[in-house]
Amino acid sequence: MEILSYSVESLVNMKNNFWKDKRVLVTGYEGFLGSNLTKKLLGLDARVFGLDVLTHRKQTILTKKDLCKVKIIKGSVENFSLLNDIIKGNKIGFIFHLAAKSLVVYCTRNPLKAFSTNIKGTWNILEASRKSDLIKAIIVASSDKAYGSCIHLPYKENTPLRGAHPYDASKSCADLIAYTYFHTYGVPVSVTRCGNIFGQGDFNFSRIIPDTVRSIIQNKKLIIRSDGKFTRDYIYVDDIVSGYLMLAEKLQKLKLAGEAFNFSYSKPISVLDLVKKLYRIAGKRANYQVANQAKCEIKDQYLSSKKVKEVLKWKPKCMLETGLKKTLEWYRVNLRC
């Protein structure tokens, strides 16, 4: 499937000289968040080294021109020797560790693979980085699911990590390992925990927003896996990308290593209300079926972004409805039925 060119200008409003010629490793660079982050970094003239188990995907926002600018390495974060060679051999200064098994259903069915990729992959990154004197910042992408189920919401960064299911537990463990590598070895690592990220370039149609958008475009009935009452935080991908870059840029100056930060709108919405909002934005009559078959998922979860707003002065620029409109428009142009 051919994807139309994605405008860098929509990601880069102002040239940021901080990233010019910086050597940056992005693990999972061809995934949804990874491709958006990679595109932004290329627009900021960073020297990007991309690691992924799948490369040159047909479904990506990265153009051939973009990919020509990336030093592409095919491989897994489970391979310590490979990571060690990449970090040392390329004199990497910054790492965005996004590679993970991120689908709850997949992780539930394949717990050993989830633990190997998400936990071992993280300690491999941190151990290889511990042996380098050039690393300035490591941003580890975690999840709100690392907190597990909690009676008192919203989650705050000091909420205990109590993942009870394979994906959730893998993120809880990876977070604690990152914490350990800072406090024991001084590795400059910070953890991000985000709500459900959405936007252009997400081709994983098991997620509710791309699945709903595809159903709208193809005039097909949407099947909602849960009972529709689950509440979640959603946040537009451009805001997450800007937050990640801001955190990496300020990590040393503000002494943020060892810290975790929540990124979200802090405005939870139920799955059903989200779906209805998307149909309304599209000008279509709602057409869905509630299957009520979801297992091993947390019913209610949302984050407090108070800390990141106070420390980094970060705040989302694209609120939910605007982000949904942009997402719908992008898929209408780029989705081939």
Strand partners, 95: 25, 138
> Active-site residue among 167, 236, 244, 331?
167
Residues in the chain: 337
First to last CA, the chain: 10
Instruction: State residue 95 phi and psi, 5-degree precision.
Output: -130, 130
pLDDT at position 231 over 50: yes
CA distance 43 to 38: 9
Rounded Cα gap, residues 72 and 245, in angstroms: 21
Q: What is the mean pLDDT of residues 217-225?
A: 94
Domains of the chain: 8-198+235-266+302-316 (3.40.50.720)
290-299 pLDDT, tens digit each? 988 877 778 8
pTM: 0.92
**Mapped to the 3 state alphabet, what secondary structure does 237-274 carry?**
HHHHHHHHHHHHHHCCCCCCCCCEEEECCCCCEEHHHH
CB 99 within 8 A of CB 120: no
Average pLDDT of the residues in 143-163: 94
E-strand ranges in the chain read: 23-27, 47-52, 71-74, 94-97, 137-141, 189-194, 196-198, 222-224, 231-232, 234-236, 260-263, 269-270, 288-290
The count of C-alpha atoms lying within 13 angstroms of the C-alpha of 187, restricted to the half-sphere facing its C-beta, is 27
Using one digit for the tens of pLDDT, what is the confidence trace for 93-130? 999 999 999 888 899 999 999 999 999 999 999 999 99
Question: CA nearest 274: which of 194, 207, 200?
Answer: 207
Residue 15 banded pLDDT, cuts 50, 70, 90: low
In the annotation, is 302 catalytic?
A: no
Residue 337's pLDDT band (cuts 50, 70, 90): low
